[in-house]
Structure 1
């Protein structure tokens, strides 16, 4: 039998491999919301897996400290473990190369956007994981889990059905730094794309404002420790592009002045640049 000829894939040559970001992503540099000595970055993108790129980018600046814990608000759990093949890919990934990590986030992380969190934990890009979600996968899936990363570190994986349970866990924890992550589909209650009904219901705006208010004990706690802020818009899981944009606009209105990505944007309670 004739052997197939192997075709060697040529790596994409980037115009500037040191300043590559995932497709369609936007990044804002902001003063720290709670102190005067730091700046942080906020990144917005459609595909939730692109958060992997930013967590890696930000943890590289962490100067050898333990990685921040992850606090994620998401309708879905997004907690699929990397399989053996994916672990091999992750072990061979050059984390110093923005070009390679950006391409990996786009082309090799799971396109269902449910593998980025534990892939990041596997490489110790994030610490312990706290997810407040609505997705019901069975009673046993709400139990705490543990992931041992490629370096032998342990990562706790904690899931919460209620905002109050998340708040109680974090306010009583010893966490000192945080990556804050919001998937805008979190603000849907009945998610028709996930259950096949294609019907959606949503949290009321007043409830969202109360939840995200900077004086809310949990948000105040997060903002004192935040090292990076990621927002996934995922419009198809929000019930449409306009609905997704409405939630993004609401976050922008709650936190920023002028609006997010406008010139001189900063936190409402901080001086403008």
Structure 2
């Protein structure tokens, strides 16, 4: 049972906005922030200091599975929110690609379903990550929601999407805004935000409803990283957030956009 301190602990997280999502389907809370590493303390708030780790379902342009520089120094979730928040801000990489394995080290995340198209340099590429406490975590990587939905509905030999979802008691749904961008072929330093119709085709492809029902039926919280420097800057990322929110909140979660 959560205490009043648990209910208001997010107010201690500078730069994290908590949204109530009552009345829709799936999670009742969302946490919005800019640097993706702030997902770590946000997940700590959502899950509390004890209980089973959650399955992470994350949508991102990058496969954020770089091993933290000092994984054994990641605090356990029982150390409390302040320790995890401080670690995320001061010890994790400012490039925001090691928070997933850090959350596994902390005991917040068990397995992970990673919908991502690109691998940062140094990303862990194995199917199983064994943390410094000796716990094994399955990493199931697919490139698109369409591929995840197909593997859920019609699993081929070796597909593990259904396995990790069936095994999970609860799910953390995580979205990086840069999932809905591409790099320009003409200039690889230029980021191209997707129009709303392409966002919808990616997030809600035909046949994906059974997959989303399985995910949202267990989802306890949504985290949303805006990452403006990966989305074309402040103005471009603001416009992209508006378009993504219409699809993500109104059409997928069936609540009013923030």
Shorter-chain TM range is 0.7 to 0.9
The answer for the alignment partner of 1:157 in structure 2 is 139
- Any conservation in 1 of the 2:193–2:240 contact (CA below 8 Å)? no
The answer for the alignment partner of 1:264 in structure 2 is none
Take 2:132 and 2:175, find their aligned partners in 1: how far apart are those partners? 26
The answer for the alignment partner of 1:74 in structure 2 is 60
The answer for the alignment partner of 2:158 in structure 1 is none
Give the RMSD, CA atoms, in angstroms.
3.2
Take 2:87 and 2:114, find their aligned partners in 1: how far apart are those partners? 24
Report how far residue 122 of structure 1 moved. 1.6
Report how far residue 168 of structure 1 moved. 3.1
Report how far residue 74 of structure 1 moved. 0.8
Does residue 206 (structure 1) correspond to residue 194 (structure 2)? The answer is: no
The answer for the alignment partner of 2:232 in structure 1 is 239
Q: What does the per-residue CA deviation read over 1:29-74, in whole Å, with 9 as the maximum and x for residues that have no partner? A: 2227437xxx63200100000001111222226x62x322111111
> For 1:40, which of 14, 28, 32 is the aligned residue?
28
The answer for the alignment partner of 2:96 in structure 1 is 113
Take 1:115 and 1:125, find their aligned partners in 2: how far apart are those partners? 14
- Any conservation in 2 of the 1:73–1:131 contact (CA below 8 Å)? yes
Report how far residue 220 of structure 1 moved. 2.9
Take 2:81 and 2:216, find their aligned partners in 1: how far apart are those partners? 27
Q: What does the per-residue CA deviation read over 1:107-138, in whole Å, with 9 as the maximum and x for residues that have no partner? A: 11111101100011122211111112121569
Q: Which consecutive segments of 4 or more residues in structure 1 shift more than 6 A?
A: none
Q: List runs of 5+ in structure 2 lacking aligned partners.
A: 1-7, 154-161
Q: List runs of 5+ in structure 1 lacking aligned partners.
A: 1-16, 258-266
> For 2:43, which of 49, 55, 77 is the aligned residue?
55
Take 2:194 and 2:225, find their aligned partners in 1: how far apart are those partners? 17
Larger radius of gyration: 1
Provide TM-score, normalisation by structure 1.
Answer: 0.73
Provide TM-score, normalisation by structure 2.
Answer: 0.77
The answer for the alignment partner of 1:134 in structure 2 is 117
Q: Determine helix, strand or coil for the equivalent of 1:57.
A: helix
- Any conservation in 2 of the 1:48–1:183 contact (CA below 8 Å)? yes
The answer for the alignment partner of 1:3 in structure 2 is none
Higher share in helix? 2
After TM superposition, the structure 1 stretch with the greater mean CA deviation from structure 2, 215-224 or 122-131, is: 215-224
- Any conservation in 2 of the 1:49–1:113 contact (CA below 8 Å)? yes
Aligned residues: 234
Q: What does the per-residue CA deviation read over 1:219-248, in whole Å, with 9 as the maximum and x for residues that have no partner? A: 333221211100100001001112211222
Report how far residue 81 of structure 1 moved. 1.1
Take 2:31 and 2:238, find their aligned partners in 1: how far apart are those partners? 15
- Any conservation in 1 of the 2:64–2:120 contact (CA below 8 Å)? no
